[in-house]
A = this chain, B = another copy of it.
Amino acid sequence: MRRYAKRDFPTNKTRRHLEPGPIVLISSAWKGETNIMTLGWHMMLGFTPALVATYIWDANHSYQMVRRSKECVINVPEAHLLDTAIRIGNCTGGEIDKFAEFGLTADPAEKVAAPLIRECYANFECRLHDARLIRGHGIFVWEVVKAHVAASPKNPRTCHYRGDGEFMLGGDAVKRRRLFTPGMLAD
Q: Which residues of A contact B (CB under 8 A)?
A: 13, 15-17, 19-22, 40-45, 53, 55, 79, 82-83, 86-87, 90, 130, 133, 137-139, 141, 155, 157-158, 160-181, 184-185, 187
Q: Which residues of B contact A175 (CB under 8 A)?
A: 165-167
Report how far A21 CA is from B169 CA in the complex, Å.
Answer: 12
Contact B180 A15 (CB under 8 A): no
SS class, residues of chain A in contact with chain B: mixed
Number of copies: 2
Contact A169 B174 (CB under 8 A): yes
Nearest 6 A/B pairs, CB to CB: A21-B21, A171-B171, A165-B177, A20-B160, A43-B43, A86-B179
Contact B162 A19 (CB under 8 A): yes
- CB within 8 Å for A40 and B53 given contacts A86-B179, A169-B172, A170-B171: no
Checking B15, B55, B83, B130 against A163 with a beta-carbon cut-off of 8 angstroms, the contacting residue is B15
- CB within 8 Å for A163 and B13 given contacts A42-B43, A82-B174: yes
